């Protein structure tokens, strides 16, 4: 039988045994994912009620009371918890408190000006995209969000959809964790950044740092163990990675992976998908533009039904290559992707800024708060160490 603890509209698949559901609820409670706990509890209650209903119907049939059995089937209703049972908007203080608590507690926090730009955008049940031309650092930013989430003791599911192989991605992540470049070299590390209002390009102070040896796996392994012991302070699995070749995994496949992990007691807080544009379509019959729209709709549903933060990336159109600032007009394939996400970040970079290792981030779209496409946060990074966000300023 298919195991699935996620409640959705339509037919519900139940796990093989009530004990497994109870264990999953216990694990979810330990991870403090209240929305997911409600879904698990609803599945558990429905499972118990359906078993009782089956026994009652069988007893009615044995007693020759087929009409009574049919009436039980007609009147049975799936148990509802939380918002699906309806709330009193003007009288439910607990629901209002929970809404504000969720909104003001982002799952991933950045320091400085970048943290001010992001605010609480990286919150539970959000779908955030990163939009830029190719080779502008989108995957570096996805990796950085994952790394920061781990340091803040979140559970991260990283789905590599084909932009990099497992070996390539692990080497990049190892550089970030070990703070060491892959090869022996001298890097330029940003130690300060500032910008005058009259200047378009920020000024950054770079400090040369020399690494006399290449990064070895032993050093990367030790750094990973130190990270778990000193910052995460846990021996439990916090970061899961699965890699697929380009265009071989779709959102339905990702959901199946996450559901299986949940069945095993591992529920993610943050799901990173690198990246949405190269996912395989869920509906092959649609033309390509509508396939893209359907993918983003399913990603939005994923963030809502799993009560987690989903972060992915998207390519811009060709006009973005020569633009100083990415706007909502620079979408690729279908503009509706901007409507489905709760926020879309743009990565802007001139050739001069690229030489200095500076990116300008702006909100292309942002839900639930005031924003301006023209307001940019200037961020200095060091891609030799796989860190695009060392220091930032306005």
**Pair (164, 237) in one structural domain:** yes
pLDDT on residue 19: 38
DSSP secondary structure string for all residues of 65-97 = -HHHHHHHHHH------GGGG---TTT-HHHHH
**Pair (54, 127) in one structural domain:** no
**Pair (191, 331) in one structural domain:** yes
Any domain includes 96: no
Count how many Cα atoms sit within 13 Å of the Cα of residue 209 in the half-sphere of its side chain: 15
Task: Summarize the confidence of residues 151-159 as an average pLDDT.
Answer: 97
pLDDT on residue 299: 98
**Pair (210, 261) in one structural domain:** yes
Do strands 343-348 and 127-132 pair parallel, antiparallel, or not at all (unpaired)?
parallel
Which residue, among 392, 380, 126, 131, has the nearest Cα to 270 in the 3D structure?
Answer: 126
**Pair (133, 235) in one structural domain:** yes
Any domain includes 91: no
Query: What domain range includes position 62?
Result: 1-78
pLDDT on residue 87: 85
Burial 242-272, CB ≥16 within 10 A → b, else e: bbbeeeebbbebbbebbbebbbeebbbbbbb
pLDDT at 9 > cutoff 70: no
pLDDT at 394 > cutoff 70: yes
Interval 57-113: pLDDT, tens: 888 898 888 888 888 888 877 766 555 568 889 999 988 887 787 666 899 999 999
**Residue 75 and residue 49 in contact, taking contact as beta carbons nearer than 8 Å:** no
Work out the percent of the chain whose per-residue pLDDT is above 70: 86
Interval 284-298: pLDDT, tens: 999 999 999 999 999
**Pair (332, 371) in one structural domain:** yes
* Stated pTM of the model: 0.81
Number of domains in the chain: 2
pLDDT on residue 2: 34
Cα–Cα distance, 30 to 39 (Å, whole number): 15
Interval 249-277: pLDDT, tens: 999 999 999 999 988 889 999 999 999 99
pLDDT at 39 > cutoff 50: yes
Any domain includes 155: yes
**Pair (106, 217) in one structural domain:** yes
pLDDT at 24 > cutoff 70: no
Q: How confident is the model at residue 7 (pLDDT cuts 50, 70, 90)?
A: very low
Task: Summarize the confidence of residues 112-128 as an average pLDDT.
Answer: 96
pLDDT at 164 > cutoff 90: yes
**Pair (126, 249) in one structural domain:** yes
Task: Summarize the confidence of residues 196-202 as an average pLDDT.
Answer: 92
Cα–Cα distances in Å, from 17 out to 55, 171, 255, 265? 17, 41, 21, 15
Which residue, among 335, 277, 288, 250, has the nearest Cα to 134 in the 3D structure?
Answer: 277
Mean pLDDT of the chain: 88
- Give, for 131, the enclosing helix (H) or strand (E): strand 127-132
pLDDT at 3 > cutoff 50: no
Any domain includes 45: yes
**Pair (58, 172) in one structural domain:** no
**Pair (113, 64) in one structural domain:** no
pLDDT on residue 365: 97
Task: Summarize the confidence of residues 34-54 as an average pLDDT.
Answer: 69
Cα–Cα distance, 307 to 123 (Å, whole number): 10
Task: Summarize the confidence of residues 1-29 as an average pLDDT.
Answer: 40
pLDDT on residue 65: 87
pLDDT on residue 67: 86
* Helix 34-62 / helix 66-75 crossing angle, nearest 10 deg: 170
pLDDT at 10 > cutoff 50: no
DSSP 184: S
Any domain includes 258: yes
Order the strands of the 387-393 sheet from edge to edge.
239-243, 156-160, 270-274, 309-315, 127-132, 343-348, 358-366, 377-382, 387-393
Q: What CATH number should be reported for the domain holding residue 244?
A: 3.40.50.300
Burial 276-309, CB ≥16 within 10 A → b, else e: bbbbbbbeeeeeeeebbbbbbbbbbbbbebbbbb
Any domain includes 84: no
Any domain includes 89: no
Task: Summarize the confidence of residues 346-363 as an average pLDDT.
Answer: 97
Residue that terminates a domain, selected from 78, 93, 124:
78
Work out the percent of the chain whose per-residue pLDDT is above 90: 71
**Pair (60, 107) in one structural domain:** no
Which residue, among 102, 65, 70, 69, has the nearest Cα to 83 in the 3D structure?
Answer: 102
Any domain includes 350: yes
Q: How confident is the model at residue 308 (pLDDT cuts 50, 70, 90)?
A: very high
Least confident segment among 12-16, 119-123, 147-151, 377-381: 12-16
**Pair (69, 163) in one structural domain:** no
pLDDT on residue 1: 34
Task: Summarize the confidence of residues 320-343 as an average pLDDT.
Answer: 95
pLDDT at 30 > cutoff 60: no
């Amino acid at each position: 039988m298919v195991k699935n603890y996620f409640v959705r509209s339509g037919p519900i698949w139940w796990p093989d045994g009530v004990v497994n559901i109870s264990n999953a609820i216990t694990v979810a409670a330990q991870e403090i994912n209240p929305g997911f706990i409600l879904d698990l509890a609803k599945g558990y209650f429905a499972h118990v009620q359906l078993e009782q209903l089956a026994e009652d119907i069988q007893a009615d049939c044995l007693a020759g009371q087929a009409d009574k059995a049919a009436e039980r089937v007609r009147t049975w209703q799936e148990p509802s918890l939380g918002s699906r049972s309806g709330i009193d908007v003007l009288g439910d203080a607990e629901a209002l408190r929970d809404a504000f608590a969720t909104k003001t507690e982002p799952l991933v926090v950045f320091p400085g000006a970048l943290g001010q730009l992001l605010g609480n955008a990286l919150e539970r049940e959000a779908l955030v995209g990163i939009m830029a031309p190719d080779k502008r650092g989108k995957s570096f930013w996805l990796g950085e969000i994952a790394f920061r989430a781990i340091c803040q003791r979140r559970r991260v599911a990283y789905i590599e959809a084909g932009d990099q192989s497992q070996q390539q991605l692990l080497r990049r992540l190892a550089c970030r964790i070990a703070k060491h470049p892959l090869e022996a070299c001298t890097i330029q590390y940003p130690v300060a950044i500032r910008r005058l209002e009259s200047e378009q390009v920020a000024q950054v102070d770079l400090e040369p740092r020399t690494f006399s040896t290449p990064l070895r796996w032993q050093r990367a392994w030790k750094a990973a163990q130190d990270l778990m012991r000193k910052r995460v302070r846990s021996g439990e699995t916090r970061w899961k990675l699965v890699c697929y070749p380009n265009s071989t995994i779709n959102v339905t496949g990702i959901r199946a992976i996450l559901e299986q992990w949940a069945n095993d007691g591992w529920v993610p807080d943050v799901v990173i998908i690198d990246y949405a544009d190269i996912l395989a379509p869920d509906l092959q019959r649609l033309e390509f533009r509508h396939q893209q729209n359907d993918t983003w709709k399913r990603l939005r549903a994923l963030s809502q039904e799993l009560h987690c933060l989903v972060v992915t990336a998207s390519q811009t159109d060709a006009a973005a290559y020569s633009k100083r600032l990415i706007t909502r007009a620079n979408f690729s394939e279908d503009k509706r992707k901007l409507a489905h996400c709760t926020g879309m970040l743009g990565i802007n970079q001139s050739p001069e800024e690229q030489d200095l290792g500076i990116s300008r981030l702006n909100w292309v779209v942002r839900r639930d708060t005031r924003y301006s496409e023209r307001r940019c946060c200037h961020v200095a990074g060091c891609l030799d160490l796989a860190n695009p966000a060392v220091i930032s300023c306005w």
